Amino acid sequence: MIITSIEEQKNNKNKVSVFIDSVFSFGITKEELISLKLSKNKEISQEELDRIKNYIIFEKAKNRAFKILSFRQYSKLELKNKLSAELFPNDIIDRVIDILENYKYINDFEFTKNYIKNRYITKGYGINKIIFELKRLGINEDDIINAYDETINKFSITEEDKIRELINKKLKGKVYNFEENPKLKKKLFDYLYRRGFNYETIMNALKEN
The 10s digit of each residue's pLDDT in 150-161 is 888 788 788 888
Residue 192's contacts (CB-CB under 8 Å, 6 or more residues apart) are 126, 163, 166, 167, 202, 205
195 and 148 together in one domain: no
Number of structural domains in the chain: 3
62 and 26 together in one domain: yes
Query: 28: which strand partners?
Result: 16
192 and 170 together in one domain: yes
Tens digit of each residue's pLDDT (9 = 90 or more) over 72-89: 999 999 999 999 998 888
Lowest mean per-residue pLDDT among 5-9, 17-21, 150-154:
150-154
* pLDDT exceeds cutoff 80 at 177: no
CA distance 140 to 154: 21
* pLDDT exceeds cutoff 80 at 103: yes
9 and 96 together in one domain: yes
CA distance 53 to 189: 55
Q: Domain of residue 140: give its range.
A: 107-157
98 and 186 together in one domain: no
Count of residues in the chain: 209
DSSP state of 43: B
pLDDT range class, residue 12, cuts 50, 70, 90:
confident
CA distance 3 to 37: 12
46 and 95 together in one domain: yes
20 and 49 together in one domain: yes
Q: How confident is the model over 129-156, as a mean pLDDT? A: 89
83 and 7 together in one domain: yes
3-class secondary-structure state, position 105 = coil
31 and 121 together in one domain: no
20 and 92 together in one domain: yes
CA distance 44 to 66: 30
**In the chain, which residue ranges form alpha helices assigned H by DSSP?**
30-35, 46-51, 58-69, 76-85, 90-102, 108-116, 127-136, 141-155, 159-171, 182-194, 199-208
CA distance 47 to 55: 12
